[in-house]
Amino acid sequence: MSTAVTPGNGRRAGRPGKGVRAGRPHASWALPAVLFFTFFAVVPMALAFYLSFTKWNGLGDPQPAGLANWKKLLDDDRLTQSLTVTVLLTVVSWAFQTVVSLLLGVWAAGRQRNRAVLSAVFFVPFLLSSTAISLLFYALLDPNFGIIHRDTLGSTSGAFLAIVFVGGWQFIPFHTLIYQGGARQIPEVLYQAAAIDGAGRYRQFFSITLPQLRNTATTSGVLMIVGSLTYFETVLILTQGGPGTDTAILPYLMYEAGFKSYDFGYASAIASFLVVAATALSLLLVRLTGFGAMRSTREGM
């Protein structure tokens, strides 16, 4: 729902009024997308928000319950734990995925044939379904018949790191692609000028490549963070929120309330909370990073 916000911000900081209409397609072009978004995102969200004020076990009609679910949400110790785990997972995943995909992306931006071939190979994990990937790693992590003969998923840090790793394994290729594209956009002249000034390979990376990739890093960062908030299949298949409740992130808590305890009212309250939190977080990120303003990286050229 971050995506719904970005255009609004863009317009506010947009260019002068004149000529704005010129060359823009008619508003009706957006109709299919708007309808799709309404029926498959806005309506379900509204329904979930409505359900959060009811008591419903999935059968019969929901009964109004006032603020009971929201009060329960505030009192629930598991929500606090879940929020902590979710934030931790988001931050660690972001750090892990950004570092690896930045380096891989910059490397893959080179035009050599071997890099092109390897980039194509690296991209394969992103094409697999996350369920298939999770099942695969679940089998690999079996303490008796897997590759690591230890209780990886039974310890808190092991289970947490396994989720970070499996998520990274799947999504790093995607972010590598973004960074590859970003790195290829950097004008060659900058490197040529730096070479004349005597800058070496590392100096060029830190003084040219990194600053030039600022907007790319923001895009990829927002995608990673919002994605981590709704991360689910991997947790469901690898750990089921365990050991105990140590990896029960918010979406998993919601699933458990809805599809295990059949308390759809409470599950909807968690879902509504998640929507609000994710929207607020992506707004904040967009503000902080100046992504909305989209200042050019070629200023002064």
The site for other proteins (CB under 8 A) is made up of 3, 39-41, 43-45, 47-48, 57-61, 130, 138-139, 141-145, 149-154, 171, 174, 223-224, 226-232, 240, 242-246, 251, 256, 259-263, 271
Give 102 or 226: the residue with its C-beta nearer to other proteins: 226
Give 57 or 84: the residue with its C-beta nearer to other proteins: 57
Q: How far is the CB of 264 from other proteins (least distance, A)?
A: 8
Which residue, 214, 248, 249, 254, is CA-closest to 228?
249
Give 180 or 209: the residue with its C-beta nearer to other proteins: 180
Q: How far is the CB of 152 from other proteins (least distance, A)?
A: 6
What is the rounded CA–CA span in Å between residue 81 and residue 103?
Answer: 33
Q: How far is the CB of 191 from other proteins (least distance, A)?
A: 31
Instruction: State both tokens at 114.
Output: 């071997």
Q: How far is the CB of 40 from other proteins (least distance, A)?
A: 5
β-pair type (63-64, 54-55): antiparallel
Q: How far is the CB of 240 from other proteins (least distance, A)?
A: 7
Give 207 or 230: the residue with its C-beta nearer to other proteins: 230
What's the 3-state SS for 27-87?
HHHHHHHHHHHHHHHHHHHHHHHHHCCEECCCCCCCEECCCHHHHHHHHCHHHHHHHHHHH
3: amino acid identity, one letter: T
